[in-house]
Amino acid sequence: MPTAVNAPPRTDGADRAVRWVTAVALAFTAAQLRFVPAGMTLGAGEVGNVWQARSGDPGAFLDVSRGHATVALVAPIVQATSSTAAMRIYLAVASGAGLFAALWAWRPLHRPETLAGAGVLFGGLWAAQLYGSQAMPDLWCALGALGAVGCLLRVARDRQDYPAMLGVTASLALVAAMRPSQGLWLALPLCAALAVVPAWRHREAVVSVLAGLVLDLTAWLVHENGGAGPEPVQRVQRAAARGSGWVDGWPGWSGFATVAVFLAIGGLMAVSGVRRPGTALLPMAVAAWMLVPGALAGPGTAGFLLTAGALAAVPAAAGCVRALTRARRRPLAAALTAGCLVAHLAVQNAALDAVTDAASAVPAAHPASGQGAHAPGEGDARADGAGSDGIRS
């Protein structure tokens, strides 16, 4: 861990950065609209969030591991229309805006090409595209973590960067509101970084992280004492715990392998004489740390893996850009990099097609689809255990 973060490199101006990051955010939204079917069946994990947003019943909470922010996110669209397609389009646009904000937090630290590369590496992950249009907290936890680490590095560099201070606290609060336990897992390495690196241990950085930690703890305590909701929703909870009938997360250990590649590239960049190793080492350390709860929860858990992938994508992109700019045979280096990127996107797209095909093959009627706009559990249960809400109990 470094002892200081030096001044950032000269950038080509905010306008150029806006163009790069906007292009990546728009591409992320467009990829979701193109490759994720807008009418795809709601997963069991989404049903409770959508129903609670529509009914406005704070007790109708799906899963004790999730916060209420997802419900607030989808409430405007599900209260306006019962169309699942409309909700997915709305979330695709919102997640594109979220990716822009998370990458923009890093603008004073990296050149525009690096930010764009990080957005492509992370946004190209099939799980990022899938969860971007789902009423689930996974992608938003990843974006919140990306923003929190970027803003903390900015505060460590410039204690007068008050927008970054607010960004640290707001990002940690977002993760806690989406999934309280993940907010706590994220806050711990940030607190450790401030304790280990003396140059970062100034009032502004400490206050911003501690404020976020307090919000994390508050969200967790409120959540733990909030109960699981009435019996109809508990029935859906039991169904969700057994899965939605299609792949939820990375199959096997492929997610860990993807993050490991990102970390390896970023590690090479961090140890190859860069002026500010902290901008690579901190996100890599937090990404590696977030793999721990991901492994404990199971190899296919998407939430923690997406967070690790988002953080590792930044130093990986920085390493690629740095290698390109310093290569003696730049055309050859550019061709190799482009080939690796195309291969990465092709593999991710194939995985996304397989998952969406499996999801589309699961027939169900859910609260947001217009086919089952009643409370989960209403109606006569069938002999096979599936109620009229289309979720098997």
Residue 107 has pLDDT above 60, yes or no: yes
Token pair of 227 as six digits: 């109960």
Give the angle subtended at the CA of 222 by the CAs of 213 and 184, to the nearest 5°: 30
Structure confidence at residue 67 as a pLDDT band (50, 70, 90):
low
Closest CA to 219 of 167, 165, 175: 175
Distance CA 165, CA 162 (A): 5
The pLDDT value given to residue 223:
60
Q: How many CB atoms lie within 10 A of CB 159?
A: 15
Closest CA to 392 of 165, 237, 224, 215: 237
Q: How many CB atoms lie within 10 A of CB 335?
A: 11
Lowest mean pLDDT among 57-66, 138-147, 327-336: 57-66
What number of CA atoms fall less than 13 Å from residue 170's CA on the CB side? 13
Give the 3-state secondary structure of residue 326.
helix
Distance CA 262, CA 193 (A): 21
Average pLDDT of 104-110?
A: 93
Largest CA distance in the chain: 71
Distance CA 44, CA 391 (A): 7
Give the angle subtended at the CA of 317 by the CAs of 311 and 318, to the nearest 5°: 100
Does residue 50 contact residue 87 with C-beta atoms inside 8 Å?
yes
The length of the chain is 393
Q: What is the pLDDT of residues 287-298, one digit of tens each?
A: 989 888 877 766
* Type of residue at 97: A
The pLDDT value given to residue 272:
62
Strand segments, DSSP code E, in 185-256 are none
Q: What is the pLDDT of residues 234-256, one digit of tens each?
A: 444 444 444 443 444 555 455 55
Distance CA 253, CA 215 (A): 32
Listed by start position, the domains of the chain span 14-360
Average pLDDT, the chain: 77
Token pair of 69 as six digits: 């922010």
Q: What is the pLDDT of residues 5-42, one digit of tens each?
A: 444 544 456 788 899 999 999 999 999 999 999 888 88
Average pLDDT of 321-341?
A: 80
Distance CA 361, CA 152 (A): 44
Closest CA to 3 of 109, 156, 148: 156
- Main-chain dihedrals φ then ψ at residue 235, nearest 5 degrees: -65, -40
Q: What is the pLDDT of residues 342-390, one digit of tens each?
A: 888 888 888 888 888 877 666 554 444 444 434 343 333 333 333 333 3
Does residue 173 contact residue 67 with C-beta atoms inside 8 Å?
no
- Residue ranges of alpha helices (H) inside 1-83 are 14-35, 44-55, 69-80
